[in-house]
Structure 1
Amino acid sequence: MTARQTRLRPGVMALCAAAGLSVALTGCGGGGDDAKSAATTAASSAPAASASPADPDAATKAAVLASYTSMWVEQMKAYRVASPDGTKLKDFATLDALSAFERDLAHMKNNHTVIRGELGHQPEVTALAVDVKLPTATVEDCIDLSKWQTLDTKTNKPIPLPTAQPLRYVATATVERWDNNRWMVTEYEPDGTRIC
């Protein structure tokens, strides 16, 4: 694996901008029942691999989506408390994706914000290359912020999203199958200009 250059994600900037954060529209978190709700929502909103029974890649697509969805469950746990502690985020995200999430969490902690509510998803595998040295998949996800909320932990009051922030936008993830046969999210890029 080669090191990858990290960069700020536009989506994160817009989302956490409302909270004074460099938010990437990925999530910023809180705890308790909300964490269970987020896990349930993420797991139930992940569609089955968008493939017919005759699709020879159906099982691979399902594995990619399972890893991507697990990354989101762990990310939401972290964003609900503004910390990766106690999560398995590193089991599903690495390289640029993990670095971006860690930057979000640091901004959230510094600005005393967490995330509440639910984040909607509609992920699908849009590209798959398995017969190569490093198998890679592309996942496109329609992110829905309509039930998402950034909370100021000092005042316990919600922080509104920026007025220009779309409630639904496309995010793209690169997912790679590493030597341990585990699919890992290596890049995650929200795109607030692509409405879904």
Structure 2
Amino acid sequence: MTARQVRPRTRALALCGAVGLSLALTGCGGSSDDTKPPAAPPAAPPAASSAAPDPSASPADPDAVVKAAVLEVYTSMWVEQMKAYRVASPDGTKLADFATLDALSAFERDLAHMKRNGTVIRGELGHESEVTELDLEAKVPTATVEDCIDLSKWQTLDTKTNKPIPLPTAQPLRYVATATVERWDNNRWMVTEYKPDGSRSC
């Protein structure tokens, strides 16, 4: 059994502090041809076999539907996680519907730490996520999601002083996080592991 590897798409990203995505655009244009057509048509039509193949006829990604389902669960997890971070509590959220095992335990520890220290989150957390690996042949089908986390609009607030707490000076504003997502017996994808890696910028 082999895992299907998905090559990550190339991103041209703005550096620390930027809020936008810098896109490298390339264009192609044909040059005009001023040569006049011959006065008479050719004696015979060109052979049909000389037509070039249509480059747009390449097959679609066979795993597109699966990848979309994985990313939908991953995105939903973060929507609920941000709700929890804003009040330092998972109460009233659906976080457990999308994250479980190590991932859920790690998030719950973060929330408990925030509650003890009287902090909550304001602003938004930026994401650029993609499925980089699929293993649908395993006993438990597994996907790997890589996400570029953007902290440029993220703010930790001290609830006692109602003032923002600056990020550590060594904290990168953009870094890579990796999530493991598994498809369980009920045919539902769940995030089971989440690992931020501050040493990998994006």
**TM-score, length-scaled by structure 2:** 0.71
Match of 2:94 among 72, 78, 88: 88
Q: Give the structure 1 partner of residue 170 of structure 2.
A: 164
1:4-33 superposed Cα distances (whole Å, 9 cap, x missing partner): xxxxxxxxxxxxxxxxxxxxxxxxxxxxxx
Q: State the 4+ residue runs in structure 1 displaced beyond 2 angstroms.
A: none
Q: CA deviation at 1:53?
A: 6.7
Q: Given residue 155 of structure 1, which amino acid in structure 2 is its aligned partner? A: T
- State the alpha-carbon separation in 1 of the partners of residues 128 and 142 from structure 2: 20
- State the alpha-carbon separation in 2 of the partners of residues 166 and 132 from structure 1: 35
Cα 1:150–1:56 shift into 2, 3 Å: same
Q: Give the structure 2 partner of residue 135 of structure 1.
A: 141
- State the alpha-carbon separation in 1 of the partners of residues 59 and 125 from structure 2: 29
**Structure 2 residue 186 is matched with structure 1 residue 180:** yes
Q: CA deviation at 1:167?
A: 0.1
- State the alpha-carbon separation in 2 of the partners of residues 110 and 94 from structure 1: 23
User: Any residues of structure 2 matched to 1:45-194 within 5 Å, and which?
Assistant: 54-194=60-200
SS at match of 1:110: helix
SS at match of 2:93: coil
**TM-score, length-scaled by structure 1:** 0.73
SS at match of 1:62: helix
Q: CA deviation at 1:133?
A: 1.1
1:94-134 superposed Cα distances (whole Å, 9 cap, x missing partner): 00000000000000000000000011000000000112210
Q: Any stretches of 5+ residues in structure 2 without a counterpart? A: 1-57
State how many pairs are aligned.
145
Q: Which has the higher helix share?
A: 1
Q: Any stretches of 5+ residues in structure 1 without a counterpart? A: 1-51
Q: CA deviation at 1:150?
A: 0.1
Q: Given residue 85 of structure 2, which amino acid in structure 1 is its aligned partner? A: Y
Cα 1:98–1:53 shift into 2, 3 Å: farther
- State the alpha-carbon separation in 2 of the partners of residues 193 and 131 from structure 1: 32
Q: Given residue 183 of structure 2, which amino acid in structure 1 is its aligned partner? A: R
Measured on the aligned residues, the alpha-carbon RMSD in Å equals: 1.0
Cα 1:53–1:185 shift into 2, 3 Å: farther
- State the alpha-carbon separation in 2 of the partners of residues 148 and 100 from structure 1: 19
Structure showing greater relative contact order (alpha-carbon pairs closer than 8 Å, 6 or more residues apart) = 1
Q: CA deviation at 1:163?
A: 0.2
SS at match of 2:156: strand
- State the alpha-carbon separation in 2 of the partners of residues 77 and 61 from structure 1: 25
Q: CA deviation at 1:66?
A: 0.1
